[in-house]
A and B are shown apart, each in its own frame.
Chain A
């Protein structure tokens, strides 16, 4: 199959039907969006209410939409790969396509699905849980979002303009260096991740500042909801881990566009250094996306068992221990690169140690259910489904931590099964639990149970059918990242079964989306603001919350503040009293975060193709926008008391 852009950069004229198909669908989708917006006269609305917003709730919604769309995109990649692998010696995808697709699948799932999903949850829940009106730096929050958004655009564009990266989501040098991988694909990877990574670091700082500085009076650290604690742990990881990735990406980019030799084979480059730096970020990254899911499960399991969480202190300390220890395990990703006895022993034992606090969390979740009353609502179903899946994935993870066993499993389908079990059974199930849990808070209606249950069973059965056979394929010696395999190895039946499972999950996704559409029209409206009989502050607010969140900032006396008040019949304490209402200080909307995103996109695009004029223009615009912002003195305003009183009255709270 001629992939002409590998040899020369035939940008749009590639002669490849797959790419023309992608081109056509992108153009059609864009035309459709433009048409709908114009027809319903929604351009202004879009600009005013969304593109320029600094409201954490709206930013959360935009992250959420993006994450779900990216799950669709990368899921489609997954189904194409599974189709190719269903039978031996197939020609549905050639090696060039398969390599690009597994690379974009992995990269998008991690950076543009899991990351925005956790950012969505942070934005949606944290300020409401801690009794704050927004995050510490709302303007920076918007910048983070637009950097993520345009980073994602850049990577997605690669498939149709110039070719996607094809050196794996790990992008190891020297394979990803200019010598072995000419063409713009790899540049797309480096620049899009660099851009979104800057946004992630800013989010880490932003939410740590928010949580440490903006909690309602009385909410000591040990009275914080566990989801908020999980976000503390995650953001500590983000701010220490992401800089390592940023440096690795930058150095590799300099190698590629300026001919340096940080990671080349010749002239003294050290490819191994890239691998170290990548995993110094990469292992903590696993916990960056997993810890928020832990937080979600902790909230859900207590709420739907109508019980206080078991072992709150152990839950907090185990998350903090995980966030520290996960910096000392990165070399378990390359036990087989000649680490030697002492290095391998150290990293093997350190990796196993992480199993201890993680195991403790599982017991605490189970004993939260013990002597409770378990309501099988969607969030709880996903939480219960998470436990066996996570326990199995954890078990295979322990085996991979045993260095000599890893010599056999490394790079095999056993590993592929393991990390999908953690990333789907752990992260994605957690995100789904959160989606059903907080959806009414965000949109004011509950997602339909019946659709939800169908989707749940498709996902769960599909999951085990897809990934358990892959453990066996690992034991049969099948390597990962193979675009095809010979018959006669005994791999055929299991691969075929695995593909069936993948399609069941695909159906699960569609049913889930169908359920959302159905619920938009027919879903039960949430009129109380507390559809699940919740425990934490966000459930004391109306759904959706007014844009200033709290008319009066509450005073906290208990861990499960809202639940305790309900037990004592004192819910009214959290209703605003007219005499307490004061003008509310809020940030103004701004177009600059969006424009900064555009400028980063232009700069990134310029560097991808070595068009330095465009790159310089983009960078110049970024500097100008930052300068303009620093001379802006009226970036905030006050909501007058009347307006607050009016809003609260309309919500029936006064």
Chain B
């Protein structure tokens, strides 16, 4: 019995210790979610911190109380703790433990709704630059990025300028996937026949890991991509470089991309006109115009 209790306590300490260690060493960038590189991920992390604090207010006392009660009232000879077999209701106590969760849920609910609203808006730009758009199509098992502003396209990587809000418009020409760049912000699904919007922004240059988050079959584990954030000047250079050196993405080329397989990074100086719009429409978009969050921006 005694050994069991000691072991339990050691376990709890070990668990708490590990948790603390994780948060303190969170500066290691391998904890991607704890190392936001842009305002969206930052907002989400702040909300995560708030929710952790609010919840710790409940669970720490609960676990402490549990240990105390189990220890104090265990059935051993000579235990002097009071024994009251009919103690089964108490207004004040019940009031307290209905009240505390209600208050916590109320606070958490308010911050949640506020943040949900704010994340639907473009993040505050740091460079007065106007937002840019990238159209993202998930294919089996790769990511196609189309830049309507420059009419260029990339596969499995996307360059973006630092400090500029980027509007990713997401669809899929395969089973749905989910577009996730942990250090820039939370994910949004890519769904056939729909065009959903996700705002992200990088505030520091870097090569950010991205991955499909929703299972899409055999090649799913290989749906990695990179978002590379560079200063504006370098970004412009990159665009110029692509426009002058990369091949064009033709209709046949697109059809080949749509074949289920895993490929590396590719770059194209142009793509067939309206190809993103047509993909959305052909994959069911024409049956459900109301599910297009971003309809107006699609024609070009």
Cα-based distance from A505 to B143 in the complex (angstroms): 39
Which one of B11, B178, B211, B215 contacts A410 once the chains associate, using CB atoms below 8 Å? B178
Q: Is A569 an interface residue when CB atoms closer than 8 A count as contact?
A: no
Are B189 and A336 in contact, CB atoms less than 8 angstroms apart? yes
Q: Is A258 an interface residue when CB atoms closer than 8 A count as contact?
A: no
Residues in A neighbouring B109, C-beta threshold 8 A: 348-349, 352
Per-residue 0/1 for B147-190: is the Cβ within 8 Å of any A Cβ (1 yes, 0 no)?
00000000000000000000000000011101010110111110
Chain B residue nearest to A453 in the complex (CB): B4
Q: Is A482 an interface residue when CB atoms closer than 8 A count as contact?
A: yes
Q: Could you tell me the distance in whole angstroms from the C-beta of B218 to the nearest C-beta in chain A?
A: 5
Cα-based distance from A343 to B79 in the complex (angstroms): 54
Q: Could you tell me the distance in whole angstroms from the C-beta of B174 to the nearest C-beta in chain A?
A: 8
Are B22 and A337 in contact, CB atoms less than 8 angstroms apart? no
Residues in B neighbouring A31, C-beta threshold 8 A: none
Which one of B48, B85, B108, B117 contacts A408 once the chains associate, using CB atoms below 8 Å? B48
Cα-based distance from A461 to B112 in the complex (angstroms): 34
Residues in A neighbouring B33, C-beta threshold 8 A: 408-409, 474-477
Q: Could you tell me the distance in whole angstroms from the C-beta of A509 to the nearest C-beta in chain B?
A: 20
Per-residue 0/1 for B82-122: is the Cβ within 8 Å of any A Cβ (1 yes, 0 no)?
11111111100110011011100100110111011101100
Which stretch, B68-76, B234-242, B248-256, B265-273, touches the partner chain A? B68-76
Are B85 and A372 in contact, CB atoms less than 8 angstroms apart? yes
Are B55 and A398 in contact, CB atoms less than 8 angstroms apart? yes
Chain A residue nearest to B36 in the complex (CB): A408
Are A180 and B175 in contact, CB atoms less than 8 angstroms apart? yes
Given the known interface contacts A265-B284, A266-B284, the answer about A485 and B221 at a Cβ–Cβ threshold of 8 Å is yes
Residues in B neighbouring A482, C-beta threshold 8 A: 220-221
Interface of chain B residues 203 through 251 with chain A (CB within 8 A)? 209, 211-221, 224
Chain A residue nearest to B174 in the complex (CB): A180
Q: Could you tell me the distance in whole angstroms from the C-beta of A420 to the nearest C-beta in chain B?
A: 16
Find the residue from B84, B86, B94, B174 having the highest chain A CB count within 10 A: B94
Are A405 and B48 in contact, CB atoms less than 8 angstroms apart? yes
Are A370 and B48 in contact, CB atoms less than 8 angstroms apart? no
Which one of B12, B31, B212 contacts A475 once the chains associate, using CB atoms below 8 Å? B31
Are B85 and A306 in contact, CB atoms less than 8 angstroms apart? yes
Are B73 and A369 in contact, CB atoms less than 8 angstroms apart? yes
Chain B residue nearest to A95 in the complex (CB): B218
Which stretch, A218-226, A267-275, A600-608, touches the partner chain B? A267-275
Chain A residue nearest to B89 in the complex (CB): A311
Chain A residue nearest to B7 in the complex (CB): A457
Interface of chain A residues 169 through 188 with chain B (CB within 8 A)? 172, 174-175, 180-181
Residues in A neighbouring B105, C-beta threshold 8 A: 349, 352-353, 355-356
Are A366 and B51 in contact, CB atoms less than 8 angstroms apart? no
Residues in A neighbouring B192, C-beta threshold 8 A: 174, 265, 271
Are B108 and A372 in contact, CB atoms less than 8 angstroms apart? no
Q: Could you tell me the distance in whole angstroms from the C-beta of B242 to the nearest C-beta in chain A?
A: 27
Are A395 and B59 in contact, CB atoms less than 8 angstroms apart? yes
Residues in B neighbouring A265, C-beta threshold 8 A: 192-193, 283-284
- The count of chain A contact residues (Cβ–Cβ below 8 Å) is 97
Residues in B neighbouring A99, C-beta threshold 8 A: 215, 217-218
Q: Is B20 an interface residue when CB atoms closer than 8 A count as contact?
A: no
Per-residue 0/1 for A405-440: is the Cβ within 8 Å of any B Cβ (1 yes, 0 no)?
111111110000000000000000000000000000
Are B73 and A376 in contact, CB atoms less than 8 angstroms apart? no
Find the residue from B28, B111, B115, B185 having the highest chain A CB count within 10 A: B115
Q: Could you tell me the distance in whole angstroms from the C-beta of A147 to the nearest C-beta in chain B?
A: 29
Residues in B neighbouring A310, C-beta threshold 8 A: 87-89
Q: Is B15 an interface residue when CB atoms closer than 8 A count as contact?
A: yes
Per-residue 0/1 for A238-279: is the Cβ within 8 Å of any B Cβ (1 yes, 0 no)?
000000000000000000000000000110111110000000
Cα-based distance from A464 to B48 in the complex (angstroms): 22
Q: Is A334 an interface residue when CB atoms closer than 8 A count as contact?
A: yes
Are B175 and A476 in contact, CB atoms less than 8 angstroms apart? no
Per-residue 0/1 for A380-401: is the Cβ within 8 Å of any B Cβ (1 yes, 0 no)?
0000100110011011001101
Q: Is A168 an interface residue when CB atoms closer than 8 A count as contact?
A: yes
Residues in B neighbouring A392, C-beta threshold 8 A: 59
Which one of A95, A338, A372, A476 contacts B188 once the chains associate, using CB atoms below 8 Å? A338
Are B62 and A404 in contact, CB atoms less than 8 angstroms apart? no
Q: Is A517 an interface residue when CB atoms closer than 8 A count as contact?
A: no
Which stretch, A115-123, A357-365, A574-582, touches the partner chain B? A357-365
Given the known interface contacts A265-B192, A349-B112, A399-B52, the answer about A483 and B221 at a Cβ–Cβ threshold of 8 Å is yes
Per-residue 0/1 for A324-357: is the Cβ within 8 Å of any B Cβ (1 yes, 0 no)?
0000000000101110110011001100110110
Residues in B neighbouring A489, C-beta threshold 8 A: 30, 209
Are A402 and B47 in contact, CB atoms less than 8 angstroms apart? yes
Given the known interface contacts A270-B288, A352-B105, A366-B65, the answer about A481 and B73 at a Cβ–Cβ threshold of 8 Å is no
Q: Is B41 an interface residue when CB atoms closer than 8 A count as contact?
A: yes
Q: Could you tell me the distance in whole angstroms from the C-beta of B9 to the nearest C-beta in chain A?
A: 11
Q: Is B81 an interface residue when CB atoms closer than 8 A count as contact?
A: yes
Given the known interface contacts A308-B85, A366-B69, the answer about A341 and B218 at a Cβ–Cβ threshold of 8 Å is no
Q: Could you tell me the distance in whole angstroms from the C-beta of B118 to the nearest C-beta in chain A?
A: 9
Residues in A neighbouring B174, C-beta threshold 8 A: 180
Q: Could you tell me the distance in whole angstroms from the C-beta of A585 to the nearest C-beta in chain B?
A: 38
Q: Could you tell me the distance in whole angstroms from the C-beta of A505 to the nearest C-beta in chain B?
A: 15
Residues in A neighbouring B127, C-beta threshold 8 A: none
Are B220 and A481 in contact, CB atoms less than 8 angstroms apart? yes
Cα-based distance from A349 to B87 in the complex (angstroms): 34
Cα-based distance from A521 to B137 in the complex (angstroms): 63
Are B191 and A391 in contact, CB atoms less than 8 angstroms apart? no
Q: Is A309 an interface residue when CB atoms closer than 8 A count as contact?
A: yes
Which one of A172, A359, A369, A475 contacts B34 once the chains associate, using CB atoms below 8 Å? A475
Which one of A181, A405, A411, A476 contacts B32 once the chains associate, using CB atoms below 8 Å? A476
Given the known interface contacts A270-B288, A388-B63, the answer about A345 and B209 at a Cβ–Cβ threshold of 8 Å is no
Residues in B neighbouring A403, C-beta threshold 8 A: 112, 116
Are B186 and A336 in contact, CB atoms less than 8 angstroms apart? yes
Q: Is B135 an interface residue when CB atoms closer than 8 A count as contact?
A: no
Are B112 and A408 in contact, CB atoms less than 8 angstroms apart? no
Given the known interface contacts A391-B59, A405-B48, the answer about A372 and B73 at a Cβ–Cβ threshold of 8 Å is yes
Cα-based distance from A640 to B284 in the complex (angstroms): 69
Q: Could you tell me the distance in whole angstroms from the C-beta of B140 to the nearest C-beta in chain A?
A: 8
Chain B residue nearest to A491 in the complex (CB): B30
Q: Could you tell me the distance in whole angstroms from the C-beta of B198 to the nearest C-beta in chain A?
A: 9
Cα-based distance from A570 to B282 in the complex (angstroms): 77
Residues in A neighbouring B70, C-beta threshold 8 A: 369, 374, 384
Residues in A neighbouring B178, C-beta threshold 8 A: 336, 410-411
Q: Could you tell me the distance in whole angstroms from the C-beta of A536 to the nearest C-beta in chain B?
A: 15
Residues in B neighbouring A453, C-beta threshold 8 A: 4
Residues in A neighbouring B58, C-beta threshold 8 A: 359, 395
Residues in A neighbouring B217, C-beta threshold 8 A: 99, 166-167, 175, 180-181
Are A345 and B113 in contact, CB atoms less than 8 angstroms apart? yes
Are A479 and B213 in contact, CB atoms less than 8 angstroms apart? yes
Chain A residue nearest to B221 in the complex (CB): A482
Q: Is A137 an interface residue when CB atoms closer than 8 A count as contact?
A: no
Q: Is A367 an interface residue when CB atoms closer than 8 A count as contact?
A: yes
Q: Could you tell me the distance in whole angstroms from the C-beta of A431 to the nearest C-beta in chain B?
A: 21
Are B88 and A309 in contact, CB atoms less than 8 angstroms apart? yes
Find the residue from A314, A388, A409, A453 having the highest chain B CB count within 10 A: A388
Cα-based distance from A274 to B34 in the complex (angstroms): 34
Q: Is B259 an interface residue when CB atoms closer than 8 A count as contact?
A: no
Are A374 and B73 in contact, CB atoms less than 8 angstroms apart? yes
Given the known interface contacts A355-B101, A388-B66, the answer about A475 and B115 at a Cβ–Cβ threshold of 8 Å is no
In the complex, besides A359-B58, A391-B62, A402-B112, 12 extra interface pairs with C-beta distance below 8 angstroms are A95-B218, A95-B220, A341-B120, A345-B113, A363-B93, A373-B74, A375-B75, A405-B48, A468-B15, A472-B31, A477-B32, A485-B221
23 A-B residue pairs with CB within 8 Å: A99-B215, A174-B176, A174-B192, A272-B291, A312-B89, A334-B189, A359-B100, A360-B98, A366-B65, A369-B69, A371-B83, A371-B84, A384-B66, A387-B62, A402-B47, A407-B187, A411-B187, A453-B4, A457-B7, A468-B18, A479-B212, A479-B213, A481-B220
Pairs A-B, 3 closest by C-beta atoms: A407-B186, A490-B30, A175-B175
